[in-house]
Amino acid sequence: MSFSDSETSSHGGEYKNFKQISRDRLLHEMLRTSDSGDSRSSWKVLIMDKVTVKVMSSTCKMADITDQGVSLVEDLFRRRQPLPTMDAIYYIQPSKENVVMFLSDMSGREPLYRKAYVYFSHPIPKDLVSRIKNDTSVIPRIGALGEMNFEYFPIDSQGFVTDHERALGELFGESAQSSRRAEASLNVMASRISTVFASLKEFPFVRYRASKGQDGSTATNFRELVAGKLAAAIWNNITTYKSSIPNYPQKETCELLILDRSVDQIAPVIHEWTYDAMCHDLLDMDGNKYVHEVPGKTGGSPEKKEVLLEDQDPVWLELRHTHIADASERLHDRFTNFVSKNKAAQMEQRDGSELSTRDLQKMVQALPQYNEQKERLSTHVEIAGELNKIIRDTGLRELGQLEQDLVFGDAGTKEVIHYLRSKQDTSGENKLRLMMIYASVYPEKFEGDKAAKLMQLAKLSPEDMKAVKNMRMLEGSEKRKPSGSFSLKFDSQKKGNAARKDRTGEEETWQLFRFYPVIEELIDKMCKGDLSKDDYQCMNSSQTAPREFNGSSARNVPPKATTESTNPRSVRSRRTPNWARSRTSDDGYSSDSNLRNFSTDFKNMGQRIFVFIIGGATRSELRVCHKLTAKLRREVVLGTTSLDDPPQYITKLKLLSEKEIAVDPGLGI
């Protein structure tokens, strides 16, 4: 029996991205290292709890797991058939209930499995270790006892969530001040974030947004202290790793910046015009699943087909962060090019009577690839067409222009009132989103009874009014006025009535691609060493992060990359960056099919940057992390409690004023 963490480090050698390392740890360090060498028991059983099964499914595909010799995946708390000739791998949380269930499986005269390899998702308490060691009948049957320190949920090659869907309400809601649930939520959150650094063998500078009272004094309101509390809990966890995890770095290797949703209240509601964001905002999707109709196989009624929009689709990978107009153009060009070059497509255009035997042979040879590529391209052409139709039918371009003009100070009250009066057929959700942007840029317009008049003009319900009112709760303490009125006090970092400033030296190729989330500016400043040490404090013993932390001390950064990091930022370049180009050689079945190409794009990377947003992140913020990775030559990883699309975020915001938030047992803690 061994009790240890993996000794594989992410430093040195071939560069692997965040999700690639995560996947390799589960498949190679846990599943593959459990091989006993006995040919009679080459197949294994994998047993997980409700949390670790979500971790595994978000990181790997079933094909990846079976490739490692796993023939059966089981739920720890379900009745299971004894398989005494097979080994079992337990990937579970180190809770008392889980340990008791494991011991029950493996103790006695007839254990369920031949041998058990046990891996815990985060550090196990000493009393539970003792409980396992004291069971003398189980000890000889344990092949390995270790801590994987892996309890986060990858959602992207450079993103993860902690699965805290209710974090916004628990930490910033009406009952957050005295809620034990809030403290418990922060502790679990900190534990899961910490396992990211354990998995990647990274020791971060931990920085957080230090909120202060309106008079500049130290904040005492719980909501204002959330980022600092989380930073302290993460710091306590990772400092223990220095002595408990073999080969864990003793000096800082990366940066972590902890923010909360109040840092940018516009990004969650403004219309983001990329292909990815538009799909999730405008289409009725279930996660990454898109359902569309295809012709029936026997010529009958159309059939429904599900398509996953994910990294294993090279077309999606190329287009997801491009402007919807750019994506539509590229799809048209690619489809035309595909038809002109593919032999099967060429033959399909000809009259069947003209086909020679040789032509038919060529067509048959090209058909499998042709059908797959044609179906994939056709699906995306259909999706882009549906998006463009919705944009036209709802008049979204005009609304999007007004949203961005408001943010950049080119529009004000006059334009908002004109829009509301002239576009009364605009959906309630879109009008509400416009009001929320307006409130962020012009908070003074929502003082006293002004808010009620605006809402009356927009014909929004009192329920919708909650979303705008509750925006103030994310800001912590505020001076409330008598008689039930309220005043929004946003720290939007704006001058005059502009929440963003245009960047000098940038080319605007696509209309409505002007907006950028606040985190882009913060990451850029942090990389240059220009982030305020008072506003963004550091938990490390020196209490200060390096002035120029470009990461060259850990990984060699070529001169070209260093130069690029100081160039003006471009959020509107029409050229597709390297990280978004199609990988046409992917098989599309293994989760490794796209990840393995990452190292060819990013050699000699600098030290990683991690940004964690409490209360939910947006697709625009995830896009920015990809963009800055290419620009700064430092992998930027976005972590958050949940990835929210605008409707989800607005629903959560409305619930902030509820005294008790309904608990969905299917959501994270």
Residues 329-362 pLDDT 10s = 999 998 888 777 765 555 555 554 555 556 555 5
The confidence band for 571, taking pLDDT boundaries of 50, 70 and 90, is very low
- pLDDT value at position 580? 31
Instruction: Answer for the pair 269, 650: CB distance below 8 angstroms, yes or no.
Output: yes
C-alpha to C-alpha distance for 91 and 117, rounded to whole angstroms:
9
Instruction: Answer for the pair 376, 315: CB distance below 8 angstroms, yes or no.
Output: yes
DSSP for residue 25: I
Average pLDDT over residues 529-548: 76
Count Cβ neighbours within 10 Å for each residue of 655-664 and write b for 16 or more, e otherwise: bbeeeebeee
DSSP for residue 118: E
Instruction: Answer for the pair 263, 531: CB distance below 8 angstroms, yes or no.
Output: no
- Report the candidate in 93, 190, 199 with the shortest Cα–Cα distance to residue 149: 199
Identify the residue with better confidence: 598 or 58: 58
The pTM score is 0.84
What percentage of the chain reaches a pLDDT higher than 90?
61
C-alpha to C-alpha distance for 632 and 566, rounded to whole angstroms:
8
509 pLDDT above the threshold of 70: no
Q: β-strand 159-161 against 142-147: which pairing, if any?
A: unpaired
Count Cβ neighbours within 10 Å for each residue of 339-367 and write b for 16 or more, e otherwise: beebbbbbbeeeeeeeeeeeeeebbeebb
Question: Which of 305-319, 399-413, 604-618, 648-662 is least confident?
Answer: 648-662
The total number of residues shown for the chain amounts to 669
Tell me how far the alpha carbon of residue 254 is from its chain's centroid. Answer: 19
Which tokens hold the place of 47? 């047993």
Which tokens hold the place of 506? 């940038």
DSSP for residue 606: E
C-alpha to C-alpha distance for 249 and 201, rounded to whole angstroms:
7
Q: Is 220 left (phi over 0), alpha (psi -120 to 50) or beta?
A: alpha
> What 3-state class would DSSP assign to 108?
coil
- pLDDT value at position 2? 42
pLDDT in tens, 375-402: 888 899 999 999 999 999 999 999 999 9
Average pLDDT over residues 121-134: 96
Question: Which of 113-127, 344-358, 415-429, 585-599 is least confident?
Answer: 585-599
Provide the 10 A C-beta neighbour count for residue 507: 8
Average pLDDT over residues 93-107: 97
Counting other chains too, the contacts that 292-295 makes at CB distance below 8 Å and 24 or more residues apart are 292/379, 292/382, 292/383
C-alpha to C-alpha distance for 45 and 27, rounded to whole angstroms:
14
Question: Angle 9-11-13 (CA atoms, 0-180°, nearest 5)?
Answer: 100
Provide the 10 A C-beta neighbour count for residue 555: 18
C-alpha to C-alpha distance for 322 and 513, rounded to whole angstroms:
10
Instruction: Answer for the pair 118, 47: CB distance below 8 angstroms, yes or no.
Output: no
- pLDDT value at position 485? 40
Question: Angle 583-634-245 (CA atoms, 0-180°, nearest 5)?
Answer: 105
Average pLDDT over residues 645-654: 96
- Rounded to a whole number, what is the distance in angstroms from the first to the last CA of the chain? 32
Identify the residue with better confidence: 441 or 588: 441
State which amino acid sits at residue 113: Y
Query: Residue 218, exposed/middle/buried by CB under 10 A (0-12, 13-18, 19+)?
Result: exposed
Which tokens hold the place of 535? 């506003």
Question: Angle 144-237-118 (CA atoms, 0-180°, nearest 5)?
Answer: 15
pLDDT in tens, 129-149: 999 999 999 999 999 999 999
Average pLDDT over residues 15-39: 84
State which amino acid sits at residue 250: Q
CA 503 vs CA 65, 466, 634: distances in Å: 47, 34, 22
Instruction: Answer for the pair 622, 436: CB distance below 8 angstroms, yes or no.
Output: no
* Helix extents (H) in 48-157: 50-59, 62-67, 96-106, 126-133
C-alpha to C-alpha distance for 654 and 652, rounded to whole angstroms:
5
